[in-house]
Amino acid sequence: MTVFCDTSALLARHLDAPYRGLARDTMDAHDVWCAAASALAEALVAVDRVTDEPVLRADLEDLLRLDWDRFHVVPLDVACLDRAAVLGRQQPLRFADAVHLAAADRLPRPLTYLTFDPNQIPVALALGFDLVSS
């Protein structure tokens, strides 16, 4: 089985938050992990917003990069970005959210979509993904 992780899922796996266990359990239950090519960069930008502690920032970045080695990365080519534009025009989504959903939409089903972003939930369900969220 395949799980697609957005940026919130990548971060949730390593943050001390209520949904950490759900993120870990979901990812550990799947053999194949996928993410949009932009997900790691977006997560690394978010690291600085999560903590002011330099050591914790470095640790979180290391954990994200270690996880990233397991991911199958969905490229953000013109077709993917065009699909993101369509989704973003049809739904109340930020462009970054639309990119994650467009990238996931390129993958064969069944597909588990892991997100903790409430804006993505209705669109993920409409696209026919098996959704895991809080």
pLDDT tens digits, 63-72: 999 999 999 9
pLDDT of residue 98: 97
Q: What is the pLDDT of residues 68-105, one digit of tens each?
A: 999 999 999 999 999 999 999 998 899 999 999 999 99
Domain boundaries, the chain: 2-132
Tell me the pLDDT band of 18, cut-offs 50, 70 and 90.
confident
The amino acid at 6? D
Decide: residue 53, CB within 10 A, 0-12 exposed, 13-18 middle, 19+ buried: exposed
CATH topology (fold) of 2-132: Rossmann fold (3.40.50)
pLDDT at 63: 96
Identify which of 123, 130, 134 has the alpha carbon closest to the alpha carbon of residue 2: 130
Mean pLDDT along residues 104-120:
96
> In which order are the strands placed within the sheet that holds 2-5?
71-74, 32-36, 2-5, 112-114, 130-132
> Strand, coil or helix: what is 2?
strand
Query: Residue 16's pLDDT is what?
Result: 86
Tell me what percent of the residues of the chain surpass a pLDDT of 90.
Answer: 92
Q: How far is Cα 92 from Cα 71, in angstroms, rounded to an integer? A: 28
pLDDT given for residue 17 in this prediction: 84
Distance CA 25, CA 83 (A): 30
pLDDT of residue 134: 84
* Beta strands 32-36 and 130-132, pairing class: unpaired
